[in-house]
């Protein structure tokens, strides 16, 4: 079946078919990580919708909205190759009224860890995700675990607002050298890419430990080795349900998350751990 490109609600209504619908929200510049999300959606649903929309609400005034990669024709080729049924590609004007007043608050979880360094980011992210849910009306939505705090907040929003949507988190896809796939990786020079590998190495070092303080020390030691070439925003060991820092006696699942700048490029990564196993 030919790929349908929908630009607005009316196009989506015409394109929708009977049976379970899965949504894969993206900002475009699709890579192998996005392909893995689409494949998971295809297994679970009769119709797969991929949204491609660079959301201005989740970029701060000094962030990279204007230079964020926009590769729509190449993205369409990826969607065709992966058997996507519908690409939803609205304009900013289609998504937001000029006098828009109401959005979603991400609450306390949206103001800590990543949210502390990107004020308002998660409010903007949740607002566009809710709008996409309302427009596409999916039964299932697939998100990458690389954006762990985003995934937790979306799951929280779905629960708090009683949305009839299943949220599926898909594993992080990595390059052979361990670097987590990201649309921003293309900004890295060869030397910066070598420095960026400190993030995944730090996570692996932390994952080799079991107690919170030991995990933090092992991961921090790897980051410190990069010196001034790596500008670390945070290294956090958190409860995935709240993203609050875990205590030393915490048992069970935790997320070790890191964010840092390499040159002008900001990267995030994380790993899920089990602490203090019995």
Annotation-wise, does 136 bind a ligand? Answer: no
Residue 160 known to bind ligand: no
Q: Check the annotation: does 28 bind a ligand.
A: yes
- Is 250 annotated to bind a ligand? Reply is no
Q: 172-180 long-range contacts, Cβ below 8 Å, gap at least 24?
A: 172/33, 172/144, 172/145, 172/146, 172/269, 172/270, 173/32, 173/33, 173/36, 173/144, 173/146, 174/200, 178/204, 180/33, 180/146, 180/267, 180/268, 180/269
Q: Which two tokens stand for residue 259?
A: 């964010």
31 is in an annotated binding site: yes
Question: Is residue 34 marked as binding?
Answer: yes
Q: Is 228 annotated as belonging to a binding site?
A: no
Contacts of 167 (CB under 8 A, 6+ apart): 140, 141, 143, 151, 154, 155, 158
* 145 in a labelled binding site: yes
- Ligand-binding annotation for 109, yes or no, is no
CA-CA distances (angstroms) from residue 51 to 89, 95, 102, 138, 233?
A: 6, 12, 22, 12, 30
Give me the catalytic one of 34, 89, 121, 250. Answer: 34
Question: Is the separation of the CB atoms in 87 and 15 below 8 Å?
Answer: no
For residue 34, indicate whether it is catalytic.
yes
**Residue 60 known to bind ligand:** no
The verdict on whether residue 166 carries a ligand-binding annotation is no
Q: Which residues are annotated as a binding site for (R)-pantoate?
A: 58, 150
Residues placed in the known binding site: 27-34, 58, 144-147, 150, 173, 181-184
Which amino acids are annotated catalytic?
34
> Which residues make up each annotated binding site for beta-alanine?
58
Per the annotation, where are the binding residues for ATP? 27-34, 144-147, 173, 181-184
């Amino acid at each position: 079946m030919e790929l349908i490109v929908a630009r607005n609600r009316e196009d989506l209504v015409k394109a929708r078919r009977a049976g379970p619908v899965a949504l894969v929200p993206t900002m475009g510049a699709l890579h192998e990580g996005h392909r893995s999300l689409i494949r998971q959606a295809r297994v679970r649903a009769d119709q797969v919708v991929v949204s491609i929309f660079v959301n201005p609400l989740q970029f701060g005034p000094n962030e990279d909205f204007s230079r964020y990669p926009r590769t729509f024709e190449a993205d369409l080729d990826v969607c065709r190759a992966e058997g996507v049924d519908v690409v939803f590609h609205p304009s900013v004007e289609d998504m937001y009224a000029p006098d828009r007043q109401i959005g979603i608050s991400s609450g306390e979880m949206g103001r800590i860890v990543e949210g502390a360094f990107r004020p308002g980011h998660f409010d903007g992210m949740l607002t566009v995700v809710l709008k996409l849910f309302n427009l596409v009306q999916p039964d299932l939505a697939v998100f990458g675990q690389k954006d762990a705090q985003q995934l937790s907040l979306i799951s929280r929003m779905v629960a708090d607002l009683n949305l009839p949507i299943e949220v599926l988190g898909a594993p992080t896809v990595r390059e052979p050298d361990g670097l987590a796939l990201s649309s921003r990786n293309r900004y890295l020079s060869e030397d910066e890419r070598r420095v960026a590998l400190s993030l995944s190495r730090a996570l692996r070092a932390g994952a080799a430990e079991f107690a919170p303080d030991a995990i933090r020390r092992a991961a921090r030691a790897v980051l410190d080795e990069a010196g001034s070439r790596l500008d670390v925003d945070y290294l956090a060991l958190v409860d995935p349900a709240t993203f609050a820092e875990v205590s030393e006696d915490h048992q069970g699942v935790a997320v070790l998350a890191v964010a840092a700048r390499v040159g002008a490029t900001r990267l995030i990564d994380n790993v899920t751990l089990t602490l203090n196993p019995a």
